[in-house]
Homo-oligomer: A and B are copies of this chain.
Amino acid sequence: MTNRITGFHTADVRFPTSRHRDGSDALNPFPDYSAAYLEIETSEGDHGYGFAFTVGRGNDVQLAAIEALRPMVVGRDVYELVSDLGAVSVSLVGDSQLRWLGPAKGAIHMAASAVLNSLWDLKARRAGLPLWRLLAELPAAELVGAIDFRYLRDALTPAEALDILERGKEGKEERVGDLLATGFPAYTTTPGWLGYDDEKLARLSLEAKNDGFGMIKLKVGLDLDEDRRRLGIARAAVGDLPIGIDANQAWGVAEAIDWVNGLREYEPYWIEEPTSPDDILGHAAVRRAVSPIRVATGEHVHNAVMFKQLLQAQAVDVVQIDACRVGGVNENLAILLMAKKFGVAVCPHAGGVGLCELVQHLSMFDYVAVSGTTDGRMVEYVDHLHEHFVDPVVIRDGRYVAPTTPGMSAQLRPEAVLEYLYPSGPAWVSPPAARSGSDALIGG
């Protein structure tokens, strides 16, 4: 008997984060961080986990999109699938009917991401390696074979990708040792949500500095005077520690330029999402006008073709990949390699539900096998919801500790899935006031 995919289980998991305004920003006043969660199972009892992150409403739509991909996976031979994830990627992203809902963007693309990531998780678990290490040890040709170059060749050819990976082998073992010893740099967004008061902002900013984080990040974009005041408080608290600012797409191009220049005296390290994530030319115009303040974007950039153009147009200083937005590990490999070619730092978006858990693997792979450096590289860290994961991220001295457990760290604790199942789980059914105990997010 061959080993086949026999189980494809989805769950609508939502955390009622809006009750505390954790995660509030200019365009997301009241998010309920959620996972459209997927567990795949094989006839030999192997498992793989993946999910798409959403902020509440629409998590059911996201699940429907994942369910639409079920027939392309269930019944398939596991070895065939995980030995050619490039072909799987093309079949999922390029399905001749489903691609109309994208193509390669929005809910259907995030669904492909969830499925592809679950297969990478499965592959890494079968190999007994954490994903970052599996990627670092795979033959360069297999990694290149995982990428769909159809629309990317004008920026990166397969031969160039191979060359980057071959060159990345030099010193790799040293970097693996360094990573295992000291971890990967992180920055934190925990102090900077718009809903927090001044005292909390100052206190959390200083804590972040003392904890060793490489940067703190503040949400901006609702009110310029208020942003100046809050940036002043944070700057006073952290001294010369870098402070990133994040507008979450609040502005048009001219407004972005004026607003960011109005914050110049606080020396922001980067401005993140100054305008529409689709506006490549707009980002380029903003970047020219606010230099030396860096421009960062990516958490809503929907695929590698868009990242390609952001690089070609010199529109960004920092590429912020997201583990769940683009087509999974496959498309993120393409983005990491393009960023390397264009000499741009990758500082992933994280936070949400499990985004830190997933994306740390990609940055660690980037360091050991692609970019070869941690200079100017940091993974976002937000101290939310990690307790619900089987293999949660560990932060030590403001850095991500390299995971050693096999897989992509994507598995939720089974109890958490049941507790936060929407709308039937206890977290949603019981009135918060009547509950107590371990869950700090409920009540208060």
Which residues of A come within 8 Å of B, CB atoms?
A: 27-32, 53-58, 60-62, 64-65, 68, 94-110, 149-154, 249, 251-254, 275-282, 285, 300, 302-303, 305-306, 308-309, 312-313
A260 CB to nearest B CB, Å: 15
A346 CB to nearest B CB, Å: 20
Q: A105-B278, A275-B151 are in contact. Are A100 and B309 (CB under 8 A)?
A: no
Closest residue on chain B to residue A150 by CB atoms: B252
Closest residue on chain B to residue A153 by CB atoms: B252
Selected contact of A110 from candidates B58, B65, B98, B101, CB within 8 Å: B101
- Chain B residues lying within 8 Å of A151, measured Cβ to Cβ, are 252-253, 275-276, 278-279, 282
Query: Chain A binding site: helix, strand, loop or mixed by DSSP?
Result: loop
A310 CB to nearest B CB, Å: 10
Closest residue on chain B to residue A285 by CB atoms: B154
Known: A106-B107, A106-B109, A153-B254; 11 extra A-B contacts, CB below 8 A, are A53-B100, A58-B97, A101-B110, A102-B106, A103-B277, A106-B108, A153-B252, A278-B305, A280-B309, A282-B305, A282-B309
Closest residue on chain B to residue A252 by CB atoms: B153
Contact A96 B55 (CB under 8 A): yes
- Chain B residues lying within 8 Å of A107, measured Cβ to Cβ, are 61, 65, 101, 106-108
Closest residue on chain B to residue A53 by CB atoms: B100
Interface-central residue, A27, A152, A279, A285, by most chain B CB under 10 Å = A279
Contact B100 A58 (CB under 8 A): yes
Interface-central residue, A30, A100, A249, A276, by most chain B CB under 10 Å = A100
Contact B101 A62 (CB under 8 A): yes
Closest residue on chain B to residue A30 by CB atoms: B96
- Chain B residues lying within 8 Å of A302, measured Cβ to Cβ, are 105-106, 278
A274 CB to nearest B CB, Å: 11
Contact A154 B103 (CB under 8 A): no
Can you pick out 10 interface pairs between chain A and chain B where the beta carbons lie within 8 Å of each other? A54-B100, A61-B64, A61-B65, A61-B107, A61-B108, A62-B101, A103-B276, A103-B300, A105-B106, A154-B285
